[in-house]
Every structure is written in C-alpha cells, then in structure tokens.
Structure 1
Amino acid sequence: MEPASEAASSVLDETGKEIDSLLSYLTVEALIWPLVGVFLVFILRKRISALCLVAVRALLKRFDVALSDEVSGQLKTAAEILIVTFSVYVTFEILVPDGVAKVFLNRVLASVAIVAIFGAWFQLSGPFASLLQNDKSSLVTSEAGWIERITQFAILLFGLTSLLKVWQIDISGALTGVGVLGAGLAIATQDLIRNLVAGMTNISEKRFETGDAIEVEGQFVGTVKRIDLRSTLVVGFDQIPRHIPNSELSNTIVLNYSARSHRRVMLKVPLLRSSTQEQIETVRDGLREYHKSCGDFELGSDAPDYIYVAELGPSSVDILIYVWTIGPDYEQFLAATERLTFEILKVTRAAGTGLAYPTQTLNVDPRSLPDFKAAD
C-alpha cells in the first residue's frame, strides 16, 4: 500500500505545481485577447456556421444532392458547437503550457467535439433512413423504423468507442467479442443481409416503383404493390400475390413496362391477292393519312413509324403497320387499336377490295374413294 500512496502523493504534488505555474502564467494581460477572440467567435458562431453550410450546399449541388431543412438545422447546430470548441482549443494551445492540465483540457474538448458530431449523426439517422422512401414507393413503416434503429445503434457504438479511446480506456477485448458475435450473426443471417442489400440497391437504382407493371423475364407479368427491404410484393394479372426476394429481382432481368413513354402497335393488314396495285396503294395511303391525323399516335422522332406493303403472303398481300401510341396507358392503347381496326375496315371497303383469310384448296381424286365405280 505504501508504494501506491507514495505514487498518488507524487502525482498530486506534480499536479499542484503545474496548477501554480499555470496560475502564475495566466495574467490579465495574457488572458484578455484570447478571451475576446473566443467571445467574438461565440457571438458570430451562427453566421460562421451558416457560411459553412452554404459552402457545403454549393459542393453538394454539383452532385445533384439537396439538403432538407431538418438536415440543415442539425448540421448547423453541430457546426456551431465545433466552431466554439475549436476556438477554445486554439486558446488553450496558446495559453496553457504543456503538462497534465493541457492534456486533460484537450481530452475534454475532444470529447465535446465527438459528442457534437455523433449527436448530430444520431439525430440525422431518421432523415437518412427516410431517403429510402419516395413519393411512389411505399416502404412499410416498420421496415424504415428498423433501419433507423440499426443506424442509431451503430452510431452509439462508434461514438462510445471514440469517446473511450480519447480517454485511453482499453476496450479491445470487448470489441473482439462484439466482432466475433457480429461475424456469427452475419453467417446466420446471410440470406437476410443479401436481401437487404439487394432491396436498397433496387430502390436506389429506381428500377421500378409502386404501381409499375413489370415482367420478371421468363416467369410472369404483374403490378408492383409494395417494395420492402427484404422482398417485393408483385400481384400478377391472375390476381395472385407473389413475395419475391429482392436478391432474385436484383440478379434477373426485369422489364418495366410502365417506364416506357409509348406503346407499340405492330400488325399486318392482309389484302386479297386479287387486289390491284391501285387498290393496295389506296389502302396504304389511307392508313398513312389516318395515322397522321387521328391524334392517337406519336409522330415525333423518338417513335419511328412504318406503314408499307411488306410482303406477299401465302394467300394475301400484307401491309405492315408499325406505329406507337401517344402514352403508355394500356386502356388508351386498346382504344387507339380499336379505332385503327375500324379504320382498316373502312379504308379497305372504300378501296373496293377486302381482307384475305387463309384458304386451302383440297383436290380429291374420285378414283381413290372406296365406293367409286368406273363407268363402262
């Protein structure tokens, strides 16, 4: 016990000497200007933080990233604390000589900075988690809340680790245990983690949104009803709901029909083989005129259109119609196709010809019939 008491007494004596030396060094003349500087920084902290925020926004604008009011407010508060803390740190560096007192004060200031940074990060975990949602995709509230809680736990863990490291408290053993536990959980929940990562990838890439009609190539076509972080609910046209793991959607080809700006109409008009060239050209020109004047079809350069006599079929002369409707709406597409069909019938009749249909001629030799009798 005696060596320990002697060591403690020695530390106290050394600390007392440093405090006496510090008090003798800190005269009024030495303190006045640093304190004035700290006071001015404290008064101007809001304006300085606002300027820093303007610079951050200008930088993020180059990457097409905007800050919400909530995020801006949290960043501004953290910036104010850090600015004042930095000014106090500079003052201590100038006024306080090297020693135990200076180390202690630096650790206190570092702790304040860590609490400010991780505190702001903790408060922003909710807004950052809400970035996974948009106007159309409807993430379940429990999913978004779960992500927010995981983020807050990670922030608290990192913040506490940083704070203990500043005070030189060894927690390597505890971190090793946490790492082993995390590795075990990662192995046990690898499918869940894979689906979580794939879900966030699908959302960030905006491959599809709620309400979009998609086709999982080679499987089925349906409408996206809900996008979760682990699976996506797609209701097929047979009205059967399907919960598809996000990892499968991430690794397959997904056709998003709702993302297109037009719908394609491609059909052939089979005219009678007996039609004259004049009749065929009359039908073709009539369809071209209807395509341009009816208002159902896109006429821009991004939707090329073709109406030509395409080929000579087995029993018809075929006119190819390859055009695009104005919008992607399916009902509008059906209505435009219906009006086009009526116009085809009208133009064909007006040209004095008709539509062909497949025919076959069967020649039967009567001598091959079992009841056939040859004439004498």
Structure 2
Amino acid sequence: MSQFVEFDTANWPSIVQNFGDTLNGWLASVDPGAATMACIFLVLVILFRRKIADWIVGGFSALLKRFAVSLSDEVTSGLKIAIQILVVTFALFLASNAISPPPVLNGLLEKLLSSVALIAVFATWYQLSGPFVSLLVVEKIGSATKETGWVQRISQFAILLFGLTSLLKVWQVDISGALTGVGVLGAGLAIATQDLIRNLVAGMTNMSEKRFESGDAIQVEGQFIGTVQRIDLRSTLVVGFDQIPRYIPNSELSNSVVLNYSARKHRRVKVVVPLVLSSTREQIESVRDALRLHHQNCGDFHLDEEAAQYIYVSELGPSSVNILMYVWTKGADYDEYLQTMENLSLAILEIVKAAGIELAYPTQTVQINGEPLSASP
C-alpha cells in the first residue's frame, strides 16, 4: 500500500523545498548496484518484448487448438501489441520497486503504470470485441458478421464503461454515488424493457446454437417459409417467398421448431412410376432394373452408403403396378434438383417406351343399365 504526503497548498515555496529535499535524500540513498541491475533488466525486457509476446501468444494459441478454436491474424496481432505493453509496464513496476522511490513518486508512478496497463487491456478488448463476438456464429475467431453487429456494439459499450470505472478507481475518484444512481436507473430500465431483454437473450441463444444465419431458408413450423435477411437486437427479419418481410421476435423463434432447409446437404426424390396392369412380370422387372441403372450411372444422385436407395415394385394400385423410387440428389441446390427431376422424368418415359408398355392413368368403371362402361375422369 502506497503512502501519500499531504502538502500545505498555501505555502508553495515550502512545498517545492520539501520536495527537493525528499528527492535529494532519495537520490543519495539509492543503491548504485540495484539501480544498474534495474536499468539492465528494463532494457532487456524492452529489447525482447516482441519475443516474449510471441511466446505467450503461441502458448495461448496452442491451448485454444485443443478446443478446436484458432486465432485469426487480426486477433493475434492485437494480442501481441497488448502483451508487449503489459510486459514493459510490469518491468517498469519491478524496476521502480528495486530503487525504492519516495512515497510521493512511488504512488504517482504506481497510478501511471496501472493506468497504462488498464488502457492497454481495455483498448485491446474493445478492438477485438468483434472477432470474439463472431464466435457465436462461426467455428473460428475472425471478423464479426453483420448479424452480430448489435452484440458487438453492446460489448463495446460495456467495455468502455468498465474501463472508465476501473481507471477512475485507480486515481481514487469516488464514483459510488454515480454507480448507485446508475444501478437504480438500470433496475428501472430492466423492469421497463423486460421484453427487449428477453428477445436480446433469445437472439444470442439462436446464434450460439447456430440454428440459422443470414441467407438461410427456414420454416417456422406451422407458420411460413422464408429467407433470413437480418438478425437484430429485438427481432429477426425473415422475407417469405411471397416477398413480404416479417419481423419475428427472437423469443418466438427461440421457442419454435425451426426447420433450416439451407443446412441440408441433399434433396429427397420420391417418385412413383405407375405401369398398366396388363404389363408382364418381365416388362415390370425390366423397367425396375433400368431405373436402378439410371440411378447409378446418370451422375445426378447421391450414392454413398448412408443415403437411402430404394427402387422396388411397391404395390398394386387400383389401376396400376407401382414402382417406388426413393433416392437423394447430389446437392441441395433447388435448380440442381429441378434439373435432376427433369432428367429423371424424361428417362422414365424412354424406359417405359423401350419396355413396350405404357404408364397407367387413373380409370373408373361406370355401369349404366347393367352394362359396364370404362371412362377416364
């Protein structure tokens, strides 16, 4: 704990005289050997500060890699600068203790060094708030995406508030009254903005769970399908396929079942090929085998073992023999899906024609005056 000397401000010559006497007495009492060692230590730290920072950041990066998190160049550079400042500040603190300055100088030096350290920490924290907030939605620390912009702004405001409070505390500025007022105001605002806070927390939950991102096509179960345009402080903007924007409170999305179509890797193809009842077994099996061959060789379908691949004669319908084709496309792109369905439809027509049979159509039998008559609906 530092000691402080009080001066009579009404007698400035006496203050200057006392300070000069104190300084001269301290200079006379300084151990030359301790002062020399302190200076050498300080110079060495200043010369090797970059190496020390590289070593510390390297160890921190290696630790994070164990948790599958990597640091971007922007984050690494910011951390190195902050660590260099902190290392030099700590060296100055140790050097000052070695030469035991007078209480007045010692107290002032401690305040200055503490202020420099705090400014370095909070300034770096402020600059890197965006990359660290981006951890909510991405796998590695990089630049903040636009849906995390509001979270970054809140984080920066909190950092400035905590930094200023800490700095004033170092200089022993009494802000207890102001903090009490801020606390009362904060409690009142919390009560008045319960809905905003609930939606804020829900929005952070949605992003941390990575349920969806900007540009994803989602379906709020039981409501509608649309594309996520922006995730904001209170609500998420979703534009439906009817091009009507909908602002959905984050809390509602958090409590709803959300289907993210953009997260799927493949699209399902479920087609029933109806053949006329007069088809022979050989003709039906030839169509089935040709469909299996098309599925394997056309290059439009996902063929890995985990993908469902069912092409079988499934049932006898009222007017047809049905062949079920239940497979998956290679990708999830809608245009690619339409091209796959077009190729499959044309291939079915050619396969059925080559087998010498026809596709079945729904028919009904109507009896008039006891005479049967077949007619199409």
Aligned to 1:74, which of 78, 83, 104?
A: 78
Tell me, yes or no, if the aligned pair for 1:18 and 1:99 is still in contact at 8 Å: no
Q: Deviations over 1:51-86 (max 9, x none)?
A: 222222222233333333333333222212211111
What's the CA shift for 1:148?
A: 4.6
Q: Which moved more, 1:58-67 or 1:16-25?
A: 16-25
Other-structure match for 2:228: 224
Other-structure match for 2:124: 120
Other-structure match for 1:65: 69
Match of 1:45, as an amino acid?
R
Tell me, yes or no, if the aligned pair for 2:31 and 2:99 is still in contact at 8 Å: no
Other-structure match for 1:23: 27
Confirm whether residue 298 of structure 1 aligns to residue 305 of structure 2: no
SS at match of 1:221: strand
Cα separation, partners in 2 of 1:262 and 1:127, compared to 1, 3 Å: closer
SS at match of 2:109: helix
Tell me, yes or no, if the aligned pair for 2:265 and 2:332 is still in contact at 8 Å: yes
CA distance in 2, matches of 1:311, 1:30: 97
Match of 2:177, as an amino acid?
G
Match of 1:224, as an amino acid?
V
Question: Structure 2 length as normaliser, TM-score?
Answer: 0.82
Other-structure match for 2:44: 40
Match of 1:303, as an amino acid?
A
CA distance in 1, matches of 2:353, 2:7: 116
SS at match of 2:315: strand
SS at match of 1:361: strand
Q: Deviations over 1:198-249 (max 9, x none)?
A: 3333334332333332211111122233343433322222222222222222
Cα separation, partners in 2 of 1:7 and 1:343, compared to 1, 3 Å: closer
CA distance in 2, matches of 1:30, 1:293: 84
CA distance in 1, matches of 2:120, 2:264: 47
CA distance in 2, matches of 1:149, 1:268: 54
Aligned to 1:139, which of 123, 141, 146?
A: 146
What's the CA shift for 1:162?
A: 1.6
Tell me, yes or no, if the aligned pair for 1:139 and 1:228 is still in contact at 8 Å: no
Confirm whether residue 194 of structure 1 aligns to residue 198 of structure 2: yes
Equivalence map 1:42-191=2 (5 Å): 42-96=46-100, 102-125=106-129, 127-128=131-132, 139=146, 144=149, 147-191=151-195
CA distance in 2, matches of 1:58, 1:298: 38
What's the CA shift for 1:264?
A: 0.8
Q: Deviations over 1:287-325 (max 9, x none)?
A: 111211222222222322110111222332221110111
Tell me, yes or no, if the aligned pair for 1:71 and 1:124 is still in contact at 8 Å: yes
Cα separation, partners in 2 of 1:337 and 1:63, compared to 1, 3 Å: same
Confirm whether residue 287 of structure 1 aligns to residue 294 of structure 2: no
SS at match of 2:356: coil
Tell me, yes or no, if the aligned pair for 2:26 and 2:102 is still in contact at 8 Å: no
CA distance in 1, matches of 2:355, 2:168: 91
SS at match of 2:146: coil
CA distance in 2, matches of 1:246, 1:186: 18
What's the CA shift for 1:286?
A: 1.6
Cα separation, partners in 2 of 1:258 and 1:154, compared to 1, 3 Å: closer
Cα separation, partners in 2 of 1:339 and 1:45, compared to 1, 3 Å: closer
Cα separation, partners in 2 of 1:210 and 1:183, compared to 1, 3 Å: same
What's the CA shift for 1:122?
A: 2.8
CA distance in 2, matches of 1:225, 1:122: 27
Confirm whether residue 359 of structure 1 aligns to residue 363 of structure 2: yes
CA distance in 1, matches of 2:57, 2:170: 28
Match of 1:357, as an amino acid?
Y
SS at match of 1:211: coil
Q: Deviations over 1:255-307 (max 9, x none)?
A: 12222221111122222223222222122112111211222222222322110
Other-structure match for 1:374: none
Equivalenced residues, count? 358
Aligned to 1:322, which of 303, 326, 338?
A: 326
Cα separation, partners in 2 of 1:30 and 1:263, compared to 1, 3 Å: closer
Aligned-residue sequence identity (percent) comes to 59
Match of 1:282, as an amino acid?
S
Confirm whether residue 347 of structure 1 aligns to residue 354 of structure 2: no
Q: Which moved more, 1:185-194 or 1:224-233?
A: 224-233
User: Bigger radius of gyration, 1 or 2?
Assistant: 1
Match of 1:65, as an amino acid?
V
SS at match of 1:355: coil
Cα separation, partners in 2 of 1:335 and 1:108, compared to 1, 3 Å: closer
SS at match of 2:364: coil
Other-structure match for 2:241: 237
Cα separation, partners in 2 of 1:154 and 1:284, compared to 1, 3 Å: same
CA distance in 2, matches of 1:350, 1:7: 111
CA distance in 1, matches of 2:135, 2:279: 63
Q: Which moved more, 1:258-267 or 1:309-318?
A: 309-318
